[in-house]
Amino acid sequence: MLRRKVVVPIVIAVSILIIGGLTLFLTNSNQNGVALNENQYPSPPPKTLNEKINPDIINSESEWTTNNTHDAEIIKVDDWYYTFSTDYMVAGTPSPGIQIRKSKDMINWSFVGRVFSSVSTEAAEWTKGGNTFWAPDVIEMNGTFYLYYSVSGFGTRNSYIGLATSTSIEGPWEDQGAVVKTQEEDNKTVNAIDPGIIIDKEGNPWMTYGSYFGGIFIVELDKSTGKLKSPEEEGTLIAQRKNNDYEIEGPAIMYNDDTEMYYLTLSYGWLEDTYNVRVARSANIEGPYLDYNDKNMVDLTEGSFDTGTKIVGAYAFNNDTGWLGTGHNGLIQDGDKYYITHNARAGEDLYWSHLHVREIIWTEDGWPVVSPERYAGIPEKSTEELTEKNIIGEWEYLTLSRIDDAMATSTNLTLFENGKINEKDGKDYWERSSSNTIKLYWHDNEAPDNYWVDTVTVLPQWDWENWKPTLVFTGLNEEGTAVWGKKISNEIGK
């Protein structure tokens, strides 16, 4: 891009002020020297990415970035990350075709285009009028990219999962027809939507799919064709809820070599507001999948919201309207790091749906938890130098209740130098158990040994609400409830 030479000195001057101000914050925000160094935090993302609502870009796809993203699945090809997502557009009718975006860093996303220009005649006729694509997933296998997609008649089991293939991740794509089809009058249980593809530890492909119409199933695929290995089988039921009033959909599975476990993620709640992500795990690809409290994901006896370990849900920190509809996730392993993508709708206007990417952190007992802040990059330097003095100060704290799917809001949390929480002489206390792990002890006479315990990992992140670097924590309490924290001041009472 050409720039006029006359503006260069101004740009340089402004850049110096910004960089200088950021450095001053990072190194001098606490006179006791407890802030980390500048290169121990992620770099500031572009400010424009923090715009939740921007009517000026509604009809300009090149400016959508994370806007209008729904049900995105993610794949890395060479040095690029790609997402494939549902046809969606705020304040308008979306063009059918499966949206494609790409990024070098999972922060700055550009719109590539669409896989198709219309739903196939076969899919439209089978679904009795389905005219847009839902919830795609894509994998690379046999030197070919396999793209799985859904077409459905909304609110029915008239559904169709199809397959397209290409030798290039950006296409062109060739439609290979149906993988599995369901209709209201058939003798199947499953609903053919929301395909999630995984290659098991032996190298065999599987598809998990389904919804609250019948639950979530997993079925093996033919490695040579990408379609069902046994065409007449709907697979094994691995998750369900009491009835159709209890939403469940959007399954995905990842495998962790360190724990030798498969992790099933799926979404509960309504996509516009209470959407949230739950997780369960199994040593076997076909289950059974158990949550943190050893509840089987197919168990209907309780029929409550208290099955599945919630790791992402609607939330709001201070100084922000928060995010709703935080569900339908994708998963990616990149080297030794794991990430989750999911929808997020603006707290002030739930029709604006964005792509969120967050880092996954693994607990000491092998459960995935999620950063309370969106991904903004990896710091240049590790946080091995994290000390107790870094942790002392004022925080925001929230819990993602498994029972209540309404928006979680934060409360104030003070961590004192003497190890106490909120009151210098109170019974609640905290301690550091490793270089980046702390435990919060909450006194309760009815708790085991009189204390409930949160075990959380501390990490440096970008504070999107206050637009500055900060420390956050994420973890689980003894009951498997996710807890999030964000540091807002290094000095007590500031």
Contact at 8 Å (CB) between 273 and 258? no
> What span, in angstroms and rounded, lies between the C-alpha atoms of 314 and 345?
9
229 or 25, higher pLDDT: 229
Q: Which residues contact 9 (CB under 8 A, 6 or more apart)?
A: none
Contact at 8 Å (CB) between 186 and 162? no
Res 341: pLDDT: 98
Contact at 8 Å (CB) between 29 and 41? no
Question: Is CATH 3.20.20.70 what the domain over 11-44+380-489 is classified as, yes or no?
Answer: no
> What span, in angstroms and rounded, lies between the C-alpha atoms of 316 and 448?
30
**Over 90: is that where the pLDDT of 462 sits?**
yes
Res 34: pLDDT: 53
Res 423: pLDDT: 96
Res 434: pLDDT: 84
Tell me, what amino acid is at 94?
Answer: P
Task: State the pairing for strand pair 408-409/134-141.
Answer: unpaired
> What span, in angstroms and rounded, lies between the C-alpha atoms of 108 and 73?
16
**How much is the CA Rg of the chain, to the nearest whole Å?**
23
> What span, in angstroms and rounded, lies between the C-alpha atoms of 246 and 434?
40
- For the annotated catalytic residues, the residue numbers are 71, 249
> What span, in angstroms and rounded, lies between the C-alpha atoms of 98 and 85?
6
Token digits of residue 346: 């603006």
Q: Where are the domains of the chain?
A: 11-44+380-489, 56-370
**Over 90: is that where the pLDDT of 8 sits?**
no
User: Which pLDDT band holds residue 435 (cuts at 50, 70, 90)?
Assistant: confident
> What span, in angstroms and rounded, lies between the C-alpha atoms of 437 and 381?
18
**Over 90: is that where the pLDDT of 492 sits?**
no
Peptide bond into 231 cis (omega under 30): no
User: Which pLDDT band holds residue 324 (cuts at 50, 70, 90)?
Assistant: very high
Res 305: pLDDT: 76
pLDDT mean over 387-393: 92
Res 28: pLDDT: 38
Can you list the pairs that 445-450 forms with residues at least 24 positions away whose Cβ atoms lie under 8 Å?
447/478, 448/478
pLDDT digits (tens, 9 = 90+) for 260-314: 999 999 999 999 999 999 999 999 999 999 999 999 999 988 767 789 999 999 9
**Over 70: is that where the pLDDT of 100 sits?**
yes
Res 386: pLDDT: 83
> What span, in angstroms and rounded, lies between the C-alpha atoms of 281 and 259?
10
Res 213: pLDDT: 94
pLDDT mean over 377-403: 89
User: Which pLDDT band holds residue 385 (cuts at 50, 70, 90)?
Assistant: low
Contact at 8 Å (CB) between 111 and 64? yes
**Over 80: is that where the pLDDT of 27 sits?**
no
pLDDT digits (tens, 9 = 90+) for 29-87: 433 335 677 788 999 999 999 999 999 999 999 999 999 999 999 999 999 999 999 99
Mean pLDDT of all residues belonging to the chain? 91
Q: What is the 3-state secondary structure (H, E, C) of the chain?
A: CCCCHHHHHHHHHHHHHHHHHHHHHHHHCCCCCCCCCHHHCCCCCCHHHHCCCCHHHCCCHHHCCCECCCCCEEEEECCEEEEEECCCCCCCCCCCCCEEEEECCCCCCEEEEECCCCCCHHHHHHCCCCCCCEEEEEEEECCEEEEEEEEECCCCCCEEEEEEEECCCCCCCEEEEEEEEECCCCCCCCCCCCCEEEECCCCCEEEEEEECCCEEEEEEECCCCCCECCCCCCCEEEECCCCCCCCEEEEEEEEECCCCEEEEEEEECCCCCCCEEEEEEECCCCCCCECCCCCECCCCCCCCCCCCEEEECCEECCCCCCEECCCCCEEEEECCEEEEEEEEEECCEEEEEEEEEEEEEECCCCCEEECCCCCCCCCCCCCCCCCHHHHCEEEEEEEECCCCCCCEECEEEEECCCCEECCCCCCCEEEEEECCEEEEEEECCCCHHHEEEEEEEEEEEEECCCCEEEEEEEEEECCCCEEEEEEEECCCCC
User: Which pLDDT band holds residue 139 (cuts at 50, 70, 90)?
Assistant: very high
29 or 473, higher pLDDT: 473
> What span, in angstroms and rounded, lies between the C-alpha atoms of 131 and 125?
10
Please report, rounded to a whole number, the percentage of residues in the chain having pLDDT higher than 70.
Answer: 92
pLDDT mean over 427-443: 95
Contact at 8 Å (CB) between 18 and 24? no
**Over 80: is that where the pLDDT of 24 sits?**
no
- Number of other CB atoms surrounding residue 157 within 10 Å: 22
11 or 324, higher pLDDT: 324
Contact at 8 Å (CB) between 170 and 131? no
The label of the residue with tokens 């296409």 reads 171
Contact at 8 Å (CB) between 254 and 333? yes
Res 243: pLDDT: 87
Q: What is the CATH number of domain 56-370?
A: 2.115.10.20
Res 301: pLDDT: 83
> What span, in angstroms and rounded, lies between the C-alpha atoms of 221 and 176?
14
Q: Which of 472, 453, 283 is nearest to 373 (CA)?
A: 472
pLDDT digits (tens, 9 = 90+) for 176-221: 999 999 999 999 999 999 999 999 999 999 999 999 999 999 999 9
**Over 60: is that where the pLDDT of 93 sits?**
yes
